[in-house]
Amino acid sequence: MGYYMEMEDCKILIPSNHFADMLSAIKAIMSDNPSMGGGTYGGDGLIERHYSWVSTERVLDSKDVTEALHAWRWHPNLDDDGNIFMLYFNGEKLGQDEVLFKAIAPYVTEGSYVAMRGEDGFLWRWYFDGNTCVEQEGMVVYR
């Protein structure tokens, strides 16, 4: 089971000069077992913990930020200067994406956001304030 979601909108800028530190931050969270909500199970129980829908091995083997984000099911677009100016969600279900976004928040330009819609119509976005990432509930207003 899981909660289906799709991306509604995205406005994001991550300067390329932050990529090395950002990759280190993404790899660093891969050892936080108590926060991991997924796992691989075998005949005698849990074999390996990981974040929901994320391969720890794939993230740790990533050579660059693009590969690490792909492992988390997010695909970046780069501008002519090599900065990330767009992210696309390439998954189906909500995982632990907030863990990723909190880890990379210090490297994301203030005012950036990723807006989502859940299977039940619930709207939210992950908003970056220049230091952290917060989840904000959304609503549609007609005038």
Q: pTM score, two decimals?
A: 0.92
Report d(CA 11, CA 127) in Å as an integer: 10
Whether 107 contacts 14, CB under 8 Å: yes
* Extents of the domains making up the chain: 5-138
Closest CA to 100 of 10, 16, 22: 22
Q: What is the pLDDT along the chain (143 residues), one digit of tens a residue?
A: 689 999 999 999 999 999 999 999 999 999 888 889 888 777 777 668 899 999 999 999 999 999 999 999 999 999 999 999 999 999 999 999 999 999 999 999 999 999 999 999 999 999 999 999 999 999 989 99
